[in-house]
Amino acid sequence: MDNLTQNEAAAAEAAEAELKEAAAPLGKFKDVQTLMKAYTELEAEFTRRCQRLKELESGNKTDGEPDGAQSPSSQNENERIASALADGKIRDAVIGDYLKGLAAKTVPLAEGGGGVAAPRNSPKSVREASNLAKRFLNG
């Protein structure tokens, strides 16, 4: 039995040596249990971040979906437009403001409502008339 005890002691020493060798690559972790706990926490955080990223990506896709689905903000905007069109005062004020903006951008006309005519460009010599005819015929 003495031999058996010596084998057990040698096996225990070998196991202890293996643990010491295995502890070296664990880096900042004391033991395997601490490493496993940190890994589990990291895995849970990674899963949460992936889910959050997926939510954000699906939110971006719904903003530009061409299948007719509308986001809540665009539905709210459509409701405001519909209520503004139903109210005559608001509708008239918006149209009046739009027409004032157009009036500021128009080209001024001459007195009497007619347009301003450009000066007539007539050739002053036969050579100018020939050049004008060539440009007209050749395109």
Mean pLDDT in order along the chain per 10 residues (139 residues): 66 70 67 86 91 86 59 74 83 83 65 66 88 87
CA distance 76 to 73: 5
* Predicted local confidence at residue 20, as pLDDT: 62
Residue 116 · residue 110 · CB < 8 Å = yes
CA distance 130 to 73: 67
Record the pTM: 0.29
CA distance 91 to 85: 5
Residue 27, both tokens: 């880096």
Residue 89 · residue 97 · CB < 8 Å = no
Residue 84 · residue 94 · CB < 8 Å = yes
* Predicted local confidence at residue 130, as pLDDT: 92
CA distance 33 to 113: 93
Inter-CA distances, 11 with 17, 18, 20, 23, Å: 10, 10, 14, 18
* Predicted local confidence at residue 90, as pLDDT: 84
Residue 87 · residue 94 · CB < 8 Å = no
* Predicted local confidence at residue 85, as pLDDT: 80
* Predicted local confidence at residue 46, as pLDDT: 92
